[in-house]
Each structure stands twice: as C-alpha cells, then as structure tokens.
Homo-oligomer: A and B are copies of this chain.
Amino acid sequence: MTYCVGFLVRAGLVMMADTRTNAGVDNVSTYRKLRLHGNDGTRLIVTASAGSLSTTQDAVQRLQQGVPNPETGALDSFETVTSIYDAALAAGRAIRAARDGMDSLQQGQISFDATLLVGGSVGGEPLRLFLVYPAGNCIECGPDTPYLQIGENKYGKPILDRALDYDTDLYDAVKIGLISFSSTMRSNLAVGLPIDLVTARQGQSEAEVVRRIETNDGYFAELSRRWSEVINEACRAVPKVPFEPAG
C-alpha cells in the first residue's frame, strides 16, 4: 500500500508520499512515489502515485515518451504541456493506457489500477492540484477541502478534517501532514518511512523545499512521540461521560 497527500492552501502547495511498496507482508520494498519535473522557475510538476507499481512505472515511461492527445494529435509530456491541468490530463491518459495494456494479463483478484496526484504550476499560472483516477479522469482541489489523498487514506483523514483549512500556514500544513502520516503508520504496516515531501509558495513555479524524511529522522520520531502525549492530554481535556454510575 501507499499513502500520499497533497494540500493546496492559500500560501502554496505541499505534496507528500511514503515510499513503501508491498506485495503481501513479506515482500516489502522502498520505491520513490513522489516525482519532481521541471522545477526550473517556469515549470513545476509534482506527481505522487498509489496503486499498482507496474502501472505507475509504465505510465511514467509513457509520459517521458509523450502520450498521444486525441484532441490535438500531438504527443504530450511533462516537458511540453503548457498548464498543470494539461499535465493532469496527460497523466490520466498515461495511466489509462498503461492499465488498458495490462488487461490481457488480468488474472484472479489482482488490480492494475493506479491513482495519481498532480500538482504545480507551468509558466507562472497559480498553483493547482489534481487527483487523477485510474480511469484517467481527474478532480481539482479547492479551498473548501484544501487536500486530496490517495492510497491508504482513511487513518490519516480525521486529523486533516479537524486541523487543516485553506488559511493554514504552509509549514503548519506540513506538520499536520506528518501527523497524518504518523497516524497512518501507527495503524497500518503497509505505509512507512522514508517520506518524500515538496513545498512550493503560491506565485512560484519552483519548489521551496524538497526533502526526504529518513527512517532515523529525529524530528519525525519526536513528532510521533509528542503527538501520542498530546492526544492523551486531549482525551483527558474532554469532559467525562455524564452517565457513569456513582460509586
């Protein structure tokens, strides 16, 4: 499994992904799922992927070679698209083509589905963030719910629903994202360190921070420890149930 999350807050974009890939529980590997394209001040395209690793890798190959755009007849790649929306559409065509190509391999219950987050800015446009579904269609992140998740998303969702809004500071959003990862990793073995993360300020087509939180990261260990502590304090701060029998 995998967990990836993207935030689009007023201040900018945050994208984070773990690196654990597993087939069962005894075939566990580390693969980069967060990819950075351009990052030259005029083109920033960040992708995060969840689902079938073979489909994702196939889609990445297709995007490097260029994916046919049925409306223009051109080959679209992350080097040629002129907007982040076109990048999301090209990524959608790529994962759809990759998955369709695997249909002949279909057997049993194996799923070749893959899902992507695509965020960034091309040519000075405002930062945008999209979730690309296995069918190739996509949805855009908006201010009312300023996050999108893919992969093992449920354990880490409650903290986002309570703590994140469009006006959250960019690095407070990173902290909330790391808490969301910590909650997920505590409850599910299939999500694990290292975590890759990218931030970008609104108005920039270039990343501000590109960082890998390694397995032995002292801050992340302290964040997880402190989060357990404050969650227990928070439980104590909630009033007792009013129906405990006396005595």
* Chain A residues engaging chain B, CB cutoff 8 angstroms: 154-159, 161-163, 171-172, 174-176, 178-179, 183-184, 186-187, 208-209, 211, 219, 222-223, 226-228, 230-235, 237-245
Contacts and interface: CB of A to CB of B under 8 A. Distances in A.
A71 B97 CA distance: 55
Given A183-B158, A186-B158, A186-B161, A208 B245 contact: yes
A176 B244 CA distance: 14
B237 A230 contact: yes
Contacts of A239: 219, 222-223, 226
B243 A209 contact: yes
Given A158-B187, A161-B187, 6 more contacts: A155-B157, A157-B187, A171-B241, A175-B238, A226-B237, A226-B238
Nearest to A160: B187
28 contacts: A154-B154, A154-B155, A157-B187, A158-B158, A158-B159, A158-B183, A158-B184, A159-B235, A161-B186, A162-B228, A162-B232, A163-B235, A171-B240, A171-B244, A175-B238, A208-B245, A209-B243, A209-B244, A209-B245, A211-B243, A219-B239, A226-B237, A227-B238, A230-B233, A230-B234, A230-B237, A233-B234, A234-B234
Contacts of A183: 158, 162
Contact of A241 (B158, B208, B219): B219
Contacts of A176: 235
A113 to B, nearest CB: 15
Nearest to A237: B230
A175 B228 CA distance: 17
A34 B156 CA distance: 28
B178 A231 contact: no
B227 A175 contact: no
Nearest to A158: B183
Contact of A231 (B162, B184, B209, B222): B162
A179 B235 contact: yes
